[in-house]
Amino acid sequence: MCVDRRAALMQSYLMVKGVLLDVSGVLLDGDTVLPGAAECIERLESAGLPVRFVTNTTRQSKRQLAQHLRSHGIEVEVNGLFAPAAAACAWLKKNGYAPHLLVHPDLEEDFAECLASGPCAVVIGDAAQAFTYDSLNAAFRKLQRGAPFLALARNRTFKDRDGLLSLDAGAFVEALEYASGTKAILFGKPSRDFFLAAVESMGRHADDVVMVGDDVESDVAGALQAGIGAAILVRTGKYRAGDESQVEPPPTAVVASIEEATRLILGMSADGD
C-alpha cells in the first residue's frame, strides 16, 4: 500500500475499537501457522482491542479448530470463535427442522444437538471428499421436495495444503441452487448477521471495527457491505494479484500479512503508529 493511502486511511479510522480476524489464510496457511500470528493477537489484545475469530472453514468442528489454534500458541476461547455451523444450528432449532447434512464428517459433531428426525433442511458446507455424485443428488432430491437450503459458506476457493487453490463449498452451493431452483440461506461470511453477531459479542459498533481477511469477496467486500468500518486484505492465503480490483467496495487497505495488518490497526487505534 502506498504511504499516502495509508496515511489517509489512518486519518479516517483513528479509533478502531475491535478486530475481526479470518483464520485460514490469515493466521494459518494450511496446517501451519503464519509468522508472527500469535504475537500479533497478543499485541492487539494488549492494546485493549477485543479480537474475534470469524471463519468460514467447515472441514473441522469448532472444538477442533480452537484446539488447532491453541496448538500453534493462539489462545482462543470458544466464545470468541465464530463459525457458520452454530448459526445454522440455531436456525434449525428455531424453525423445527432436522439437518440433512452434506458436510465434512469432522463437522458433524457441531450438529449433535439438532433434531434427529422430522421435516429436514439441507445443510451444505465444505464436505471435501464427501462431495460425491450420490451425496449431491440425495441433497438435490430433498431440495426438490421443498426442503429449505442452508449454506454454511459460498466461498469459491481456499488455499489447499499443497499451496494451490481448491474448490470450496460455494461451487457446490451453486450447483444445487442451479439444479433445484432453491436459493440457499447463507450463514457464514459475508452474511451480515454473521459479522454482526461477532461485533456484538465485543460490545462494539460495527463502524468502529476492522476486519482482516484473505478472501476479497467474503471477508472484505462482505464486511464493508455489512457495515464494518474497515476491511484489510492480506496478501497471504488464497490472495492472488489483482484480487483487490475485483470487488466493490474495495478493501480499505491491502497489506502483506497479519503482521503488517496489526501494525496498521494499532496505528488506527491509537492516533498514529
Q: Which residues contribute to the site for a second copy (CB under 8 A)?
A: 127-134, 136-137, 140-141, 144, 156-157, 164-168, 170-172, 174-176, 178-179, 181
Q: How far is the CB of 212 from a second copy (least distance, A)?
A: 24
CA dist 158 and 56 (Å) reads: 10
Query: Cell 428455531 maps to which residue?
Result: 94
How far is it, in rounded angstroms, from Cα 103 to Cα 125? Answer: 5
Q: Which is nearer to a second copy, 157 or 225 (CB)?
A: 157
Q: Closer to a second copy by CB, 116 or 164: give it.
A: 164
Q: Are 119 and 143 spatial neighbours (Cβ–Cβ below 8 Å)? A: no
Measured from the CB atom, the residue of 33 and 175 that comes closer to a second copy is: 175
Closer to a second copy at the Cβ: 95 or 144?
A: 144
Distance between CA 264 and CA 273 in Å, rounded?
8
* DSSP single-letter state for residue 218: I
For residue 92, the 8-state DSSP code is: H
- In eight-state DSSP terms, residue 250 is P
What are the beta bridge partners of residue 124? 102, 151
Q: How far is the CB of 211 from a second copy (least distance, A)?
A: 23
255 half-sphere exposure, CB direction, 13 A CA radius: 22
For residue 170, the minimal CB distance to a second copy (Å) is: 6
Query: What's the min distance (Å) between Cβ of 56 and a second copy?
Result: 14
**Burial 243-269, CB ≥16 within 10 A → b, else e:** bbeebeebbbbbbebbbbbbebbbbbb
Of 12 and 132, CB closest to a second copy:
132
Closest contact distance (angstroms) between CB of 206 and a second copy is 28
